[in-house]
Structure 1
Amino acid sequence: MSVLFKRAILEGIARGEVTLAFRRWKRPTVKAGTRLRTALGELSIGRVEAFDEASLDDESARRAGFTSLSELKGSLHDSAERLLFRIELNGIEADRRVALRTASKISAHERQAIQDRFRRWDRAARHEGYHLHVLSLIAENPATAAAELAAKLDMEKLSFKRDVRKLKELGLTESLDVGYRLSPRGHSFLNENETS
């Protein structure tokens, strides 16, 4: 993802002071209506459009969090192959995964949706029950390095981490400084799955 922001800019977005970003791309790497995860929460992306550099002005610079037009222009890497794009930033909201993983009660509909997702992922992995097994492995080995967990499954660390990220998207796991643990939602899902 080519829309990385410094902490000060993120704080400006959160306060509503920074509402634009400018990037040079061959083609946009973000789409209007999407949300990007940042250190402060989920950033809502508005309109993304090619922009004439000659139209940049002091107001553009201010709205992008710069003190001057020259500072904004200095932040843009020169490249004849890349177009300048203007990205509207619609604020930062709380990461939805945080609220999701703290909710220990899972409705029958949500449980079915998770089970359906696991089945699809398992089919793609050609390993029935694989994602539930990963969830159980994390439950049994909290705060264990990803490389060690991957070795227990005889798989590469990067592939294992990719699969754990999918569980995190569903609010079932949380990352720690070392390894992972199940969230309250993850414990609830696993416990009910084992008793059903």
Structure 2
Amino acid sequence: MLFRKEFLEGIRAGAVTLAFRRWRRPSVREGGTLLTPVGQLSIRSVEPVTLNQISEEDAHRAGYKSRQALLDELQRRSEGEVYRIVFGQLRPDPRVELREAPVATEAEFEGLRRCLIRLDARAPEGAWTVRTLETVESHPGVRAGDLSGLVGQDKELFKVNVRKLKNLGLTESLGTGYRLSPRAEALLRALRAVRWTQSVGQPDGVPKL
């Protein structure tokens, strides 16, 4: 569920408190949450409605100047039902705090390393996580289309993969491209320390952090 910039600003200000969408199947659920560029939005309710049930007040609460403007947008698509989505509290994006969190213990390092291993194991294209992190590290602020070529991936697959790393607090989206978070920088330092230890014949294990 995506929002245009003007609606995001309304959500941030508390002026936009609901939305309407025409869906074949809802992409959010009652009691769930939705990560947006302005924070984590809780979803209070999701229910099907008819166009006749939408009031002028509903349209204003959804960020539209008039009921007719909202109806015009909903009628651009003919497939699916119309749903009324009521928002709850807007909280800070938990990934922002996570990005700044240090990899302070061996247990945290090992947990992150295992997350990367699982992501690599599930990918048909093979291991990609560390390669992607190192590519972003070397090319901050570079467009996804250019970065995807450097790692040998389709652009859309690359963007999906970067979002997976973002959910772990490892990458941050910029106006153009991405950069590593402090958490990712610490993780890469630790991974490189393990590689160096193994290369000189020292016992395997996690580094002292």
TM-score, normalised via structure 1 length: 0.79
Distance (Å, rounded) in 2 between the aligned partners of 1:93 and 1:140? 32
CA RMSD of aligned residues (A): 2.9
Distance (Å, rounded) in 2 between the aligned partners of 1:118 and 1:110? 13
Is 1:4 matched up with 2:3? Answer: yes
Is 1:40 matched up with 2:45? Answer: no
**How many equivalent pairs are there?**
194
SS at match of 1:36: strand
Provide closer, same or farther for how the CA distance between residues 154 and 36 of structure 1 changes in structure 2, counting only shifts above 3 A. same
Q: Which runs of 5+ in 2 are unaligned?
A: 194-206
The answer to whether the 8 A contact 1:14-1:91 is kept is: no
Identity of aligned residues (%): 39
Distance (Å, rounded) in 2 between the aligned partners of 1:127 and 1:76? 39
Q: Which runs of 5+ in 1 are unaligned?
A: none
Structure 1 counterpart of 2:25: 27
Is 1:16 matched up with 2:40? Answer: no
Distance (Å, rounded) in 2 between the aligned partners of 1:148 and 1:10? 28
**Aligned residue type for 1:73:** L
Provide closer, same or farther for how the CA distance between residues 36 and 5 of structure 1 changes in structure 2, counting only shifts above 3 A. farther
SS at match of 2:63: coil
1:138 pairs with 136, 139, 161, which one? 136
Further displaced range: 101-110 or 91-100 = 101-110
Provide closer, same or farther for how the CA distance between residues 14 and 127 of structure 1 changes in structure 2, counting only shifts above 3 A. closer
SS at match of 1:162: helix
2:186 pairs with 181, 185, 188, which one? 188
Residue-by-residue CA offset, 1:115-138 (whole Å, 9 max, x unaligned):
222111111226775312322333
SS at match of 1:171: coil
The answer to whether the 8 A contact 2:19-2:62 is kept is: yes
Structure 2 counterpart of 1:113: 111
SS at match of 2:31: coil
TM-score, normalised via structure 2 length: 0.74
Structure 2 counterpart of 1:85: 83
